[in-house]
A = this chain, B = another copy of it.
Amino acid sequence: MDQNPESAAERVGRTLFAERGMYRLTMLREMDPGFASLFEAWCYGGLYDRGVLDDRVRELCAVAALIPVNRPTVIETHLKAALRCGATRQEVLEVIFQSAVYAGMPDCLATLDQFKRLDDAGEFAGLGPSYGG
């Protein structure tokens, strides 16, 4: 990933998801270079880089979409990305609150519990306007 100019997928991975994004690219390239290429062209370098929605709105929608998916490491990545893209703590919480209507109370409460654990552990420090970012 070094002497070559940064690819679109690498730029998006680094900008939106920081270490987590770079880990994902490396992990997939080591596991299966062909699938990694498809992933990069489709996801980080594709849908995440279209610019139709600004990143703050796109990531708030990602949080909304990911709550029912119930994959904690994936939604953690996007909770942080939403903050990193300028969403406030209150806006991210609001998307989780609204999920009580769409996905049900258990999905809402479990996601609030996860948000609180991350927040209490200082995992959001430096991310976005609510966390001195």
Contact surface of A with B, Cβ cutoff 8 Å: 24, 27-28, 31-32, 34-35, 38-39, 41-43, 46-47, 50, 52-53, 57-58, 60-71, 73-75, 90-91, 93-95, 97-107, 109-110, 112-113, 116
CB-CB nearest 4 A-B residue pairs: A42-B42, A104-B104, A61-B64, A65-B102
- Which residue of the partner chain, among B39, B43, B67, B74, contacts A65 with CB atoms under 8 Å? B67
- A86 → chain B closest CB, angstroms: 12
A116 touching B27 in the complex, CB below 8 Å, given contacts A98-B47, A98-B61: yes
**In the complex, what residues of B have CB within 8 A of residue A110's CB?**
71, 73-74
In the bound assembly, the distance between CA atoms of A63 and B65 in angstroms comes to: 9
